Amino acid sequence: MNIFSGIKDLLGQINKIDGSIYRHGRDFSDIYEKNIELEQEIAARTKELEQANQTILTLNSVWDMMNSSQPLSSMLAKIVSILYEDMNYHFASILKIELDEHNTPYFSEKAASANRSMNRVIEFANVNLETYKFPYVDSSIIVKAITEREIYSTPDIKGMVKMFFPNLSEEQLNDLVSQMNSKSCTIVPLYKGKEDFGCLIVTTERENITDTESNFLTLFANQIELAITVAGLFEEVKKQAITDPLTGLFNRRYFEENIVKEAERSLRLKQSFSVVSLDLDYLKRINDTYGHQFGDIAIKTIANVLKKEARSIDIPARIGGEEFNLLLPGVDSRGAMIAAERIRKSIENQIIDTIGGVTASIGVATFLEHSDRIDELIELADQAMYKAKVNGRNQVQIAQMQSESEWQKIAMETFMDILSKKRIPVTDNVSMAIIQKLQSIGTSDKNSNEILYSVVDIISQTYNRMYKTGTTKSKIILAILIAKRLELPKEEIDKLKLAILLYDIGNIMVPEEIFNKKEPLTDAEREIIKTHPVIAAREILKPISNIQDIIPIIENHHENWDGKGYPSNKSGIEIPITSQIVLLVDAFYAMTQDRPHRHAYEIDEILDIIKKEAGQKWNSKLVEDFIDVVKNEQLQ
């Protein structure tokens, strides 16, 4: 019994040991499995952290792009590149909703990542993606995503390709899809403010996108939308900077910048280009008869004709008032005359309500044929246009070659005489610097006009430290715009240009301590200031024979309409119209600049001051035209 009893005890102990081992084995198994789960969880969280970090870096990259003010096309291209290269999507594309000529919507591709399979699609479909109109299918998942403003994902890659390229055969579709290695396509709607912009499309090897990925794509879409808005604002500001607000044509500044570039290209390639100068006939009569609103309609009618007739590479611009220029790259004089005549006929055929028909006088000049200097070319085109006006209007005239514009020649000779004979008190260094500038006219690559303007700026700055460089050019431009609005003949406009250059030269004779005095002037000092036009006209300019017909303009440019001006108390029509223009332009630009005793006025303040003195200091009708020109030309 003892033996059996011992065996029984031993078996019991063995069973206890086996039970303990079993229990511990289960514990070890549970720990092992839990470790595996924990490692997987850590791996998943690590991947999420890496993805989150990459998301932050990606969003920062997009933000940096927005701060760089890149064009929208460049920003969108960079965005899809980031998705493809950094976020491991197989393909990324941004589509925008467009409308065709029938107001039917379609998608255009604004950016796409590099992708070999897509290259095969383009090859099979035989399309140019830059111009291809992707179908807008109302029942499609893409339109559904955009209209419902939700992210949608689909595994139907083949269906997506077929929707966009319906002409592909079944065999081509199967071949393409097999090469893509993508298992799902995700559509992310994009907006510009409250308007539908389009969508972002990405393909991936994952069958379903995770919540984390969906959140990332939502954040990314928000950044894209912000990029679209910022870039759109940048483009709008840029457009406004180069566009005339009334007509939508390019403005004077843009035209001048581009004619310089075209001249450089022309000289390099020995290829001509032409300038067409165009002026609406009888604008003053239209304004006086029907009102300025109809004058604006006539101006916009001319602009619409130029937009329609211009090639994509041409630059139609509103130079000011009713004057337009058209830059024709690569066109010789014969081609330019044909184009100008076509424009003239098109304008003649326009019928405007209330006004009826309008016409235009047109001049043509060609670079390398009529001149190899930009300023002279524009001057010649302008002269040809004036010849068309003088000969009866509503016609095209071609430029006549001449060595130099007469008014420029007179201006250059006058300044050379004044400086070489020391008619004004400037230092020898200043005098020599100006003379060298003048001597460069005709040999310099710079415009003759610009040289003359800079000469006046330099002289003005010798007695007025606050005189801004570029003011003389601005004065000339404004004075010409007003003169053309009044339909003054070319000869009077040339005299006006010379008067603007010379009228204030007498200021250099005023003692500096008076001119720059901050306190109110005494009566004696006011009398000294008042004598400067007489000094300029009689003591400085009268000995110079070729500007005798300019002197009366300068002598009378401080006479007021009501007879309370100086030096002769002339009034009304006794004052030459050119003198009235000089006075008004001078007062306007004087108020735009700081003075020792006051700060510069705002444009609206200046116009209010001018309006209040209409009928007293200046002609009321002239003030009306002046204000209209300033507002139209946005001379801020």
Active site residues: 322
Structure tokens at 375: 């300023």
**Beta pairing, strands 105-112 & 195-204:** unpaired
Give the residue among 313, 307, 221, 323 at the shortest CA–CA distance from 258: 313
- In sequence order, which residues have a C-beta less than 8 Å from that of residue 6 and are 6 or more positions away? none
Give the residue among 353, 366, 256, 352 at the shortest CA–CA distance from 302: 352
d(CA 319, CA 441) in angstroms, rounded, equals 24
* Alpha helices by DSSP H, 441-489: 448-463, 471-485
Crossing angle for the helix pair 620-633 and 603-612, nearest 10 degrees? 170
| 546 half-sphere exposure, CB direction, 13 A CA radius | 14
- What are the contacts of 159-165 at 24+ separation with CB within 8 A? 160/185, 161/121, 163/135, 163/137, 164/134, 164/135, 165/121, 165/124, 165/125, 165/127
Fill in the DSSP letter of residue 573. Answer: G
Give the residue among 183, 209, 205 at the shortest CA–CA distance from 88: 205
d(CA 389, CA 396) in angstroms, rounded, equals 9
d(CA 514, CA 524) in angstroms, rounded, equals 10
Strands (E), 205-273: none
Length of the chain as a residue count: 636
Asked if residues 281 and 358 have their Cβ atoms less than 8 Å apart, the reply is yes
Structure tokens at 445: 């690559």
CA of 107: how far to CAs of 78, 180, 201, in Å?
20, 22, 12
Sheet holding 105-112, edge to edge: 105-112, 91-99, 195-204, 184-192, 152-154
Structure tokens at 617: 């200091």
Element (H, E) at 200: strand 195-204
d(CA 569, CA 577) in angstroms, rounded, equals 16
Gyration radius (Cα) of the chain, Å: 38
Asked if residues 273 and 266 have their Cβ atoms less than 8 Å apart, the reply is yes
d(CA 249, CA 555) in angstroms, rounded, equals 39
Residue 610 CA, chain-centre distance (Å), reads 31
Could you tell me if residue 533 is left (phi over 0), alpha (psi between -120 and 50 degrees) or otherwise beta? Answer: alpha
